[in-house]
Chains A and B, each alone.
Chain A
Amino acid sequence: NAGVTQTPKFQVLKTGQSMTLQCAQDMNHEYMSWYRQDPGMGLRLIHYSVGAGITDQGEVPNGYNVSRSTTEDFPLRLLSAAPSQTSVYFCASSYSLSVAGSGYTFGSGTRLTVV
């Protein structure tokens, strides 16, 4: 099925561990982004990419790295996990920066707990 696929769905990390959250889309979308959502709050933008090879920081980029080597994939790396990074992470993609009307397609999320 077309859409945004995130793996894993759940993850528990120990403080200081590193890991990569995977995000893949099969809609040939140019734009991809990562958000985190803390309990009872809206989503906050971590990083985004406007195309392969191009990434930029969002509101809360500290502690996270991204890369965009292909149009389809946009992994999010936690360098050294901290309890403050316990959250639900959503990946999103959009067809074009200049064509409005379809908005973002979101993945189903990765629930991360750092102990």
Chain B
Amino acid sequence: LAKTTQPISMDSYEGQEVNITCSHNNIATNDYITWYQQFPSQGPRFIIQGYKTKVTNEVASLFIPADRKSSTLSLPRVSLSDTAVYYCLVGEVNDMRFGAGTRLTVKP
């Protein structure tokens, strides 16, 4: 299973764009990259998933370089409600493993 490394914590301010990078040097050919958001006392919530290049949905973008050894979750114009823990997962769809995540704090 590919191990992921992401920053333990990040701070930002309302209205800024936030980029969280995840390293996964030993990603396998069949592995997808998935990001989840978790608020206190709640289950994780799916944000976005990709295999290569760029994926965008209504809440975020996911940038994956050609070598796929890293990925960057981009949150445009964050608000206070985006304060949460963000997890980067790498693996096959049926075997995703969570790391410690990145605790994002958005300040006014």
A contact set with B: CB distance below 8 Å: 4, 31, 35, 41-45, 48, 50, 59, 90, 92, 94, 96-109
Contacts and interface: CB of A to CB of B under 8 A. Distances in A.
B96 interface: yes
Nearest to B32: A100
Interface string B90-107: 001111111111000000
B98 A44 contact: yes
A102 B99 CA distance: 20
Contacts of A100: 32, 49, 51, 93
Interface string B43-67: 1111001010000000000000000
A100 to B, nearest CB: 5
Contact of B93 (A90, A96, A106): A96
B46 A43 contact: no
A92 B43 contact: yes
A42 B87 CA distance: 8
A109 B51 contact: no
Contacts, number: 59
A111 B87 CA distance: 21
B42 interface: yes
B44 A43 contact: yes
Given A59-B97, A98-B93, A104-B46, 18 more contacts: A31-B94, A41-B100, A42-B100, A42-B101, A43-B87, A44-B98, A48-B94, A94-B93, A97-B93, A102-B46, A102-B49, A103-B49, A104-B36, A104-B44, A106-B43, A107-B43, A109-B42, A109-B43
Contacts of A41: 100
A90 to B, nearest CB: 5
Q: Interface centre among B34, B49, B87, B98, by most A CB within 10 Å?
A: B98
A106 B32 contact: no
Contacts of A97: 92-94
